[in-house]
Amino acid sequence: MGVLSEGLTQILIPVTALIGIGFALLQWLLLSRVRVSSADHTNADNGYRKSLIGDSELENGVQSVEVTNNCAEIQHAISVGNICKPALANAVFSTVAFLLGALNSVLSDFLGMKIATYANARTTPEARKGIGKAFVTAFRSGPVMGFLLSANGLLVLYITINLLKLYYRDDWEGLYESITGHGLGGLSMALFERVGGGIYTKAADFGADLVGNLNTVPEDDPRNPAVIVDNVGDNVGDIAGMGSDLFGSYAESSCAALFVASISSFGTNHDYTAMTYPLIISSMGIVVWLIATLFATDLFEITNVSQIEPSLKRQLLIATILITAGIAIVSFTALPSEFTLYNFGASKVVKNWHLFFCVAIGLLAGLGIGPVQDVADSCRTGAATNLIFGLALGYKSVIIPVFAIAIAIHVSFSLAAMYGIGVAALGMLSTITTSLAIDAYGPISDNGGGIAEMAGMRHKIRERTDALDAAGNTTAAIGKGFAIGSAVLASLALFGAYVSRAGIKTVNSVGSAALKMVEEVRRQFNTIPGLLEGREKPDYANCVKISTDASLKEMIPPSALVLLTPLIAGTFFGVENLAGVLAGSLVSGGVQVAISDSNTGGAWDNAKKYIEAGTTPHDASLGPKGSNPHKAAVTVGDPLKDTSGPSLNILIKLMAVESLLFAPFFAAHGGLIFKSF
């Protein structure tokens, strides 16, 4: 037995989860103090209103009070758019766990989108006060979703385990087999939100970009009917999509590690604290990231643009160091000094420091899946060279991440078999709070820039928000790296759990929807008198409907493919065949294609933004916006990095957890084709 007692463990996990939720609410409270419109201020704020009214500096000829109220109106428009117990008992409890996982995922993503729309318009007026104020406002919204998602996930999983324990008692294998449904529920929602949300946001974004870049109306001009659905799409795809993706990884990693632990000496010795080691890791992560968040928002002040990216990376580095120390403490207090794991039927003696290294190497491997350089120079000679150079760069960028993940898998498996891989995935996901904060910060800054332009603010405000967005693009690639790496490790852990339990010794959705968006915008320009002159407002709702219909319709084929493949393979061809399917999808889709798509798309998208920003003499020589290099840079970068690549994360995770859940059925009744001979 470890030093940490069962009673203390029972207190530690829910308390840290509640702390995370409380800290998220605190960040929301601090964010709510940023006023959007003059009507938000009470009588005690008369001095603030007078300072706005008396402000001699106009925003493109419009009074400050008016542009501030414009921010509130635009925010409103975006918000509106946005050998076990009986098999029957296992099925019922798995269904309950599934519903809880799905509900938790949806709730977390809903709250994330709410806080994103809440923060969008608040970032814009804060940008008038300086880059530091805007950064803090945009960044505070990220921890709200990050802490809510991780803390809610931890608390719901903890409560579910303890409720099911009343029925299963000491049958740990049956309990954690039922808990697997929690991961499937979270991943099912992730499929809809990541794939459907990706189609929604990129149809809107791509359509608005095409209209803005290939016509006389800028993409963020309020006369562009696609501009509101573009802002809504940022919240749907980049906020909710990323959140559901990481929640799915967190849920399935926890379930895989818990299930593998249940068939180890932890289960036979009824060592509750050691059994819940994966949850204690998550608890430690919440506490550490709470401290790390303060470094970005309170302890270090941002005074210029060049400090933004180093500040975000410094926060990640500080938190990594702190959480490594925390994991060491947890490993030596919660785990017995020596215990037995089962590696495909063979016993393996493992020490507690082995698991520490497994978690730590998973955490460090995530840092090796980072951003790539831009390809702006290749746009000088046209779109063809930009596409070729971007693809080559994406393929090349796979090398280091593949080695990082392979080393993490080899070391973890050598030290602690499949359980080691499962906790390595949790180590990588111990950064989930900051990964979400960094990822959410970018689209919020981007929307803040669009609001600044639509509200009629001066160009200097847009420059500040664009600088925030540019830094977010680079650091968001780190978050995507953690998402991909954790998906691979978690899926491999689930694959091992499936093998143990079973007893084994492109649909062009974005393009078509974007084309409809462009056609709708052109129709409105041609049929609504006074729209181009700014006398009439565009029909934003119709553009929202196009993206919504496309996301719901076009996601059906890929969703059916992912959900039906394990069922067909296991039922008709047997468990061995299904194991081959899982291995193939993991090696090809999860590692190579997902990383390549994300990095290629990121490089293309950054090339376009560097040319648009023109912040350096070199970038300025490629511009301005509308130049031939800029037109060549308007490619499929966004759909590739935000839809195609991330969707593969969901594919490998959902197929693995679905296979584990149905493994008893496949083992008993699968292989119908071979049984008929």
pLDDT given for residue 52 in this prediction:
45
Residue 219 lies in a domain: yes
As given in the structure block, the two tokens for residue 510 are: 């974005």
**Omega cis (within 30) before 624:** yes
Range of the domain at 361: 6-28+85-675
CB 274 within 8 A of CB 261: yes
Structure confidence by residue, pLDDT tens digits, 37-83: 555 554 444 554 444 444 445 555 555 566 666 666 666 656 555 54
- Count the domains in the chain: 1
As given in the structure block, the two tokens for residue 399 are: 């090398």
* C-alpha 405 chain-centroid distance: 19
Residue 550 lies in a domain: yes
Residue 48 lies in a domain: no
pLDDT given for residue 356 in this prediction:
92
Residue 163 lies in a domain: yes
- Per DSSP, the three-state class of 340 is strand
pLDDT given for residue 55 in this prediction:
47
d(C-alpha 654, C-alpha 629), whole Å: 40
- Per DSSP, the three-state class of 528 is coil
Residue 624 lies in a domain: yes
Residue 167 lies in a domain: yes
As given in the structure block, the two tokens for residue 303 are: 């005074």
Residue 62 lies in a domain: no
- First and final C-alpha spacing in the chain: 52
Does the pTM of the predicted model rise above 0.85? no
pLDDT given for residue 466 in this prediction:
76
Regions of the chain with pLDDT less than 50: 42-45, 48-56, 83-84, 506-507
Residue 608 lies in a domain: yes
d(C-alpha 327, C-alpha 97), whole Å: 28
Structure confidence by residue, pLDDT tens digits, 120-137: 778 888 888 888 888 888
Q: Which residues contact 399 (CB under 8 A, 6 or more apart)?
A: none
Q: What are the φ and ψ backbone dihedral angles of 579, each rounded to 5 degrees?
A: -60, -40
CA distances (Å), origin 665, targets 8, 231, 487, 583, 662: 38, 45, 25, 20, 5
Give kind and range of the element (H or E) at residue 665: helix 663-669
* C-alpha 619 chain-centroid distance: 30
